[in-house]
Every structure is written in structure tokens, then in C-alpha cells.
Amino acid sequence: AQKVTQAQTEISVVEKEDVTLDCVYETRDTTYYLFWYKQPPSGELVFLIRRNSFDEQNEISGRYSWNFQKSTSSFNFTITASQVVDSAVYFCALSEVLGAQKLVFGQGTRLTINP
């Protein structure tokens, strides 16, 4: 069975600090997708990134970066120079590549950026 664990329930930092959100997953599939979604206070879920399991190259998008390590089954998310607008709940998720591509979500990490 697939499982995603986000051990950090809540994180609070001061603006401009760097912060890393941890994600550890379990799967028996040899190929799979990993995702991060953002849920701001308004409640909608916003897609941030999808990573294929055979592509371990790290990715950077502006202040956001993602570190995928297959050896430790981790897909961590770092926000550099955090801003108040980054305050949200962040979800890590895992899906199969074939079939119905169902998402399995972690419990989420509530990130609060204080001014």
C-alpha cells in the first residue's frame, strides 16, 4: 500500500527565513509520481509540482526548490526567503503512473510565516 508521511504538523518562522517541509513516502511501485499542493487560507488546493520517480534531478522555481531522494524515499520542499504570503497548509502526495492515478496525501504541514 502507498503511504505519505509529513511528520511536521505545524511550522512557524519569521519572514525571510528559509524553511524546509519534509515528506517521506512508501510504495511498492517502481515508477510513481510525487506532488506538492498548497492550500492557502482561502481553502482551495493549488498544484505546485509533479516529479516522476525516474527523474531525481532537483528542481528550483523562484524561491521554491524541491529535493527528491529515492534512496531515502523523501521529497522535501524548501522555501527560501519566506514571505507572509507563503503561509498555508502544504500537502505532499503520491500517485501511481498507470491506472486511475489516484492521489495518496500526507497529513499536511501548516506553515505560518510571521512578519
Partner 1 sequence: NAGVTQTPKFRVLKTGQSMTLLCAQDMNHEYMYWYRQDPGMGLRLIHYSVGEGTTAKGEVPDGYNVSRLKKQNFLLGLESAAPSQTSVYFCASSYLKWNIQYFGAGTRLSVL
Measured distance CA(79)–CA(86) in Å, rounded: 8
Q: Which residues within the stretch 38-67 sit at the binding site for partner 1 (CB under 8 A)?
A: 43-45, 47, 50
From residue 7 to residue 36, the character string flagging contacts with partner 1 as x (rule: CB under 8 A) and all else as - is --x-----------------------x-x-
Report residue 112 as a C-alpha cell: 505560518
106 binds partner 1 (CB under 8 A): yes
CA 94 to chain CA centroid, nearest Å: 10
Pair 24, 73: CB distance under 8 Å: yes
Q: At closest approach, how far in Å is the CB of 83 from partner 1?
A: 23
CA-CA distance, 94 to 72, in Å (whole number)?
15
Residues at the site binding partner 1, with contacts judged by CB under 8 A: 4, 6, 9, 33, 35, 37, 43-45, 47, 50, 91, 95, 97, 100-108
